[in-house]
Amino acid sequence: MKGIILDANGDFVLEGGCIKVDEADGQTIENILRANRGAFKEAPLVGGETTKMLGGTPSSLWCAQVKKQIQSVGVPVTRVETDGTQIIVKQ
């Protein structure tokens, strides 16, 4: 999926005086994983809430819920899994 590309600070990337538009699947997945529910006003139920999992263990249903949320915004994902310290998203 194509989208507006943001830099590490969340600012638009400019290329040739224009906002850069390119493949943004990875950026979209990252934004969903970092967001809390209610962060996206157009889709208030979307948000992986990974910050709430720091220092704890994720719900056994978390991977399935996040997979559905990512798919709901148009990014094709086949599997989401965790292995202790990493979140792995397979497209």
Helix axes 25-34, 62-72, angle to 10 degrees: 130
Tens-digit pLDDT profile for residues 37-75: 888 888 888 888 888 777 776 777 888 888 988 888 888
Give how many domains the chain has, as a whole number: 1
Q: Which residues contact 59 (CB under 8 A, 6 or more apart)?
A: 65
pTM: 0.78
- 14 confidence band (pLDDT: 50, 70, 90): very high
Tens-digit pLDDT profile for residues 76-86: 999 988 887 78
Alpha-carbon distance of 84 to 62, in angstroms, equals 13
Q: What is the residue range of 49's domain? A: 2-90
Query: Which pLDDT value is given to residue 84?
Result: 72
SS3 label, residue 87: strand
